[in-house]
Chain A
Amino acid sequence: MSFAAHLISGISLGSVYALIALGYTMVYGIAKMLNFAHGDVIMIGGYVVFVTVSGMGMNPLAGIVVSMAACTVLGVVIERVAYRPLRGASPLAVLITAIGVSYLLQNIALLAFGSDPKAFSNVVTLPNLELFDGQLVIKSVTVVTVAVSVVVMIGLTLFVKKTKIGRAMTAVSEDKGAAQLMGINVNGTIAVTFAIGSSLAALAGVLLCSAYPSLTPYTGSMPGIKAFVAAVFGGIGSIPGAFIGGILLGVIENLSKAYISSQLADAIVFSILIIVLLVKPTGLLGKQVQEKV
């Protein structure tokens, strides 16, 4: 039973990575930039819930909605202020700006909330799932996390494939100039992408803090980087890839912690990334673009 328990908690952690990775991969896929501040949006999302639910006594669900709304606005503002002026600049300049935004958010949180960890109260108040006469207990937050990430992944896939704005995103991701010639508002489409990615980050933040209830200004940093690894692992730009990459990463990390060494777990995770990239540089589900010239 302990293997099953480790596996399940790995899937739970992986689902959080998957949610974050979905945001990474959407933004990368469409704007062709790595938004390294994405992890810190998670942390902001966590603090918003902390303030509204633990501080102001709001209903947890309402707190989550407020947090998602706040992060959506934050994501759009970051895009407008920090990234849009650099459209057309070298990718390196954009990357460095993203790192700068990341530190900015961390330090704003540091200034506002201090560095000591805040005890985050679990917002998922459903009863736990007990299987095999209580030998295997699955926490309700785990069930919710996995369910949310699956729903979000399917929802996003349908959104991109079936809606007009989704197809506009695909067009923008391939060729911004040609997309504009179709009458697509490229900047608007990228802003929508940031809005979606950031609202997912807020959701991920809430679930992450519910499962690991300690919130500091650096809470989002490591999961952010790991989710980035997950996105690359699954094939950056691919929505199902980000999901699978996230789940796999969480499972590998948790099983390594349980059976090999908890100190080495991260090293193992990153080694696997290196191996995957050596064998299949596009990631597990990365697209091999075939094009006749």
Chain B
Amino acid sequence: MRAAWPGGGKEVLDMPMLEVKDLHVHYGVIEAIKGISFEVEQGEVIALIGANGAGKTTTLHTITGLIRPTGGTILFEGRDITRTPGYKIVPMGMAHVPEGRRVFAQLTVLDNLMMGAYTRRDKDEIRETLAMVYERFPRLEERKTQMAGTLSGGEQQMLAMGRALMSRPSLILMDEPSMGLSPIFVNEIFDIIRQVSQSGTTVLLVEQNAKKALSIADRAYVLETGRISLAGDADELMNNEAVKKAYLGE
């Protein structure tokens, strides 16, 4: 199987795409992540759900090297990336759409997208990916010369996702993509995540909107104050009484 896009060319892995083992993260003396382990298989959409402060963002930041763990290991496609500098992880095929979008406000939409392809060399291939991103996000093409800071929240989210796709990741990490968006945009964003997944990219999704997240995920992990309290198929968790009560508002 060859994934068509955007993680094209990746062979089928005979191991988990991402494996987090007994991860510990401290902020000073406070332990934010208290030994969590989870796996993401190739092609899956995995949701990490949980309340504010449960450690979801910290987990993603640790995987992409923005924060150093104090214990545990992270394997990406079988390679140990626990101590790998963050900037070297991107060319391995992992992209991260950060919480709050963090587009480069003073660069144009096009320049932002090109930053996403920073680690790539082949100009023709980059152009090809750009065309695909524009196809998926026509609004970005309409606004390509506009400063990213002048986009609306939903458009900035699309830009952040498009920018991440520009590196042709095999695994994409998304942190609260629906945060602060109007309901229409939330639906649009989740449709896009589904499309990204269908085109062969593995997705690790962090969301407070548990209902939405579980609706598109294959499996999910529930994070509670730095520990995984529940794990299972998304359908199962959707019907789990504790999850319903705590995260689905039922």
Enumerate chain A interface residues (CB-CB to B < 8 A).
Answer: 164, 167-168, 170-171, 174-175, 177-186, 287, 289-293
B53 within 8 A of A: no
B204 within 8 A of A: no
Q: Is the CB of A292 within 8 A of B151?
A: yes
Q: Is the CB of A181 within 8 A of B105?
A: no
Q: Is the CB of A183 within 8 A of B106?
A: no
Q: How far is the CA of A287 from the CA of B149 in the complex (A)?
A: 13
Q: How far is the CA of A79 from the CA of B65 in the complex (A)?
A: 22
Who on chain A is nearest to B111 by CB? A167
For residues 82 through 119 of chain B, which have their beta carbon under 8 Å from a beta carbon of chain A? 85-91, 95-96, 98, 102-107, 111, 114-116, 118-119
Q: Is the CB of B106 within 8 A of A177?
A: no
A-B contact number at CB 8 A: 79
10 closest cross-chain pairs (CB), A and B: A183-B90, A183-B119, A178-B102, A291-B149, A180-B86, A185-B87, A182-B118, A182-B115, A181-B96, A291-B105
Q: Is the CB of A175 within 8 A of B104?
A: yes
Select which of A167, A183, A292 is within 8 A of B114 by beta carbon. Answer: A167
Q: Is the CB of A290 within 8 A of B87?
A: no
Q: How far is the CB of A280 from chain B (nearest CB, A)?
A: 19
Q: How far is the CA of A184 from the CA of B103 in the complex (A)?
A: 14
Select which of B102, B107, B119 is within 8 A of A167 by beta carbon. Answer: B107
6 intermolecular pairs with C-beta atoms under 8 Å apart: A167-B111, A170-B106, A178-B103, A181-B90, A183-B88, A287-B106
For residues 112 through 156 of chain B, which have their beta carbon under 8 Å from a beta carbon of chain A? 114-116, 118-119, 147, 149-153, 156
Select which of A171, A185, A293 is within 8 A of B104 by beta carbon. Answer: A171
Q: How far is the CB of A164 from chain B (nearest CB, A)?
A: 7
Given contacts A181-B64, A182-B90, contact A289 B115 (CB under 8 A): no
Interface hub of B114, B115, B167 (most chain A Cβ within 10 A): B115
Q: How far is the CA of A289 from the CA of B103 in the complex (A)?
A: 13
Contact residues in A for B150 (Cβ distance below 8 Å):
290-292
Q: Is the CB of B87 within 8 A of A186?
A: yes
Q: How far is the CA of A182 from the CA of B94 in the complex (A)?
A: 10
Q: How far is the CA of A281 from the CA of B156 in the complex (A)?
A: 29
B163 within 8 A of A: yes
Q: Is the CB of B118 within 8 A of A175?
A: no
B246 within 8 A of A: no
Q: How far is the CB of A145 from chain B (nearest CB, A)?
A: 32
B15 within 8 A of A: no
Q: Is the CB of A292 within 8 A of B152?
A: yes
Q: How far is the CA of A170 from the CA of B91 in the complex (A)?
A: 20
Q: How far is the CB of A25 from chain B (nearest CB, A)?
A: 15
B230 within 8 A of A: no
